[in-house]
Structures are given as C-alpha cells and as structure tokens.
Amino acid sequence: MARSLTDQVVVITGGARGIGAATAAALVRAGARVVVADLDADLAKQTAATLTRESPLPAGEFDIRATAYGLDVTDRAAFTALLDQVEAEIGPIDVLVNNAGIMPIALIEDEPDRTTAAQLAVNLHAVIHGSREAVRRMKRRGSGHVVNVASAAGRIPVPAGATYCATKFGVIGFSEALRLELRDTGVDVSCVMPAIVRTELAAGLKDSKGVKPVTAEQVAEAIVGALRSPRFDVYVPKSVGPAVRVGALLPRRVGEWLSRGLGGERLFLDALDSADRRDYEARAADSAPGAEETRG
C-alpha cells in the first residue's frame, strides 16, 4: 500500500527554487509539512509563503504548511542546528531531501581550486553530513527516508563537468552503501538521478539527441512517488535507467562512441562560456560560504 504523506515533516535543502521548490510544492499538495531550507533565505521565505497561501489547511489544524529557514549546507554545525530546531518546533523529521547542489562547468585545467572545493562541499560533503544527521534521528525511531538528489551525471561522465561528475558519482556510491547499512532499520534511502532539468542550473545547455529535458515538476513527482512507494533508483526521465544499465554492459569505447553520437559528450562543452550561463555561474560561485570559512 502506498504510504501517506499527510503531516509528514519534510526538510528540503536548496528548496527555494528549481527542483527543490517544485518538490516542496508537490509535497505540500500531498499534505506534508515542508521546511524549505536554502542559502537564499529571502527566496526561501517567498517560496514557503506562496506554498502556504496556495494550500491553506482547515481551521484548527497546523496553519503553516511550509516554513522557510536560511541555511548554508556547507556550514555543517548550522545544518545540524537546523535539524534540531525543526524537530523542536515542528516535529520529528520524517524525510530529508538533500537537494542543494551547484554545477559550475569548466575544463579541469581552467577550474579554480575554490570551485572544486565548493562543489565537493555542497554536492557531496553536505549530503553525507545531512544523511548522517538524519540517520542519527531516524534510526532510533525505526522510520524515516533520506532522499539524495544526485544526477544522471553520477552514472554517465560528462566532459567539462569532471568535478561535478565526481561529486554525483560520490553521492550515488555513498547512498548505495548507506542503503545497505540501513537494511531492516525502517529507514529508507532513495537516490534521484535526473538528466537535464530546465532550471537555472542547466541554463545554456542545449537539447541533446539522447535525452529529452524534463521539468522540475516531473522530478518532484518522481520524488513524491519514491516516498509513497520507496525505491532506491529514481531516474528522471525513466528511460535513463535502462540506458545506464545497457551502457554498463558495453565495452568502454562502444559506450563512449554512443554517447558521442547522441550528443552527450558535447552537452557541457558547448555551453562553456555561454552568455546564458553567466548569471548562474556567478550565483554558483558564491554558493559555499561555509566551506570558504573552514578553509580560511
């Protein structure tokens, strides 16, 4: 039987825009109480306010469906403190969606070390930290669900995204091991692997023959589906799953030839220095202030 999401407490990192905001909206519609946690605290407030306005609850019940918190996931102490605060003010966390992520693209020789460090901090270390803190809370209660947003680029390598791929391959490997650690504990793990999603992060990426871009809402629906009927592999679109499985069986050169033919290899290369990415790249460059402080 599908699980009910009514009144489930869900924390979504990077929930102010893009996939995170669409997931927050889908979960509010499903009856969950959603915490939108984002580096951009003002936008998080706007997103949460819109969701609450659009989905008022009957009088006498919780009058707030979505709450906003400013959070830099690379500030690990602040991340832990936020989870504590949510549990104290809203209730035990049922679901953590580790969604915050950045995708600066560059050839590796042109990538500054601070950009490398920022991707590792936001896309990988924060996912590990958030998962650990969620598991500490959920395992003793014998229930909960950790959803880690990786990427198809965590299965299929993309030139000009070597560090990004490293972080997403890392998230998948981490989540696979975590799933085994949590067997029979009542805590589920899902790994979301979208291809191209039309959000600011994917600005300037052209359509490729191989994969049809999807919307943030389609990813959100897939996440809601995985929460209702828990499964680990959440590919969006679903066709990425079989493509990955077949690709893994092919000799390396044949797989690379196919990826080249389908346009996958040019995806990031053709967007390097694209004017359409300028605003996004500037935002991504400022996305790991906590990591900066730790190193400084």
Ligand X SMILES: NC(=O)c1ccc[n+]([C@@H]2O[C@H](COP(=O)([O-])OP(=O)(O)OC[C@H]3O[C@@H](n4cnc5c(N)ncnc54)[C@H](O)[C@@H]3O)[C@@H](O)[C@H]2O)c1
Write out the residues near ligand X by the rule CB under 6 A: 13-14, 16-20, 38-40, 71-74, 99-103, 122, 149, 151, 194, 196-197, 199-202, 287-288
CB nearer ligand X, residue 190 or residue 199: 199
| CB contact at 8 A, 37 and 97 | no
Residue 184: both structure tokens together: 């029979």
Q: What contacts 70, CB < 8 A, 6 or more positions away?
A: 37, 38, 39, 40, 41, 44
41-56: b (≥16 Cβ within 10 Å) or e = bebbbbbbeebbeeee
What minimum distance in Å lies between the beta carbon of 6 and ligand X?
A: 26
Residue 146: both structure tokens together: 């950790």
What minimum distance in Å lies between the beta carbon of 281 and ligand X?
A: 11
Q: Which of 138, 117, 229, 240 is nearest to 187 (CA)?
A: 138
What minimum distance in Å lies between the beta carbon of 59 and ligand X?
A: 32
What minimum distance in Å lies between the beta carbon of 253 and ligand X?
A: 26
d(CA 162, CA 184): 35
CB nearer ligand X, residue 55 or residue 218: 218
Vertex 66: Cα angle to 60 and 67 (nearest 5): 105
Residue from 69, 164, 235, 280 carrying the catalytic annotation? 164
What minimum distance in Å lies between the beta carbon of 251 and ligand X?
A: 26
Residue 40: both structure tokens together: 């951009």
Q: Which of 88, 92, 84 is nearest to 140 (CA)?
A: 92
Q: Say whether 164 is catalytic.
A: yes
Q: Which of 105, 101, 99 is nearest to 205 (CA)?
A: 105
- Report the run of H or E that residue 227 belongs to, with start and end: helix 216-228
Amino acid at 54: E
Q: Is 269 helix (H, G, I), strand (E, B) or coil?
A: helix
CB nearer ligand X, residue 9 or residue 122: 122
Alpha helices in 112-211 (DSSP H): 113-119, 126-141, 162-181
CB nearer ligand X, residue 138 or residue 153: 153
CB nearer ligand X, residue 1 or residue 73: 73
What minimum distance in Å lies between the beta carbon of 1 and ligand X?
A: 29
CB nearer ligand X, residue 32 or residue 122: 122
Active site members:
164
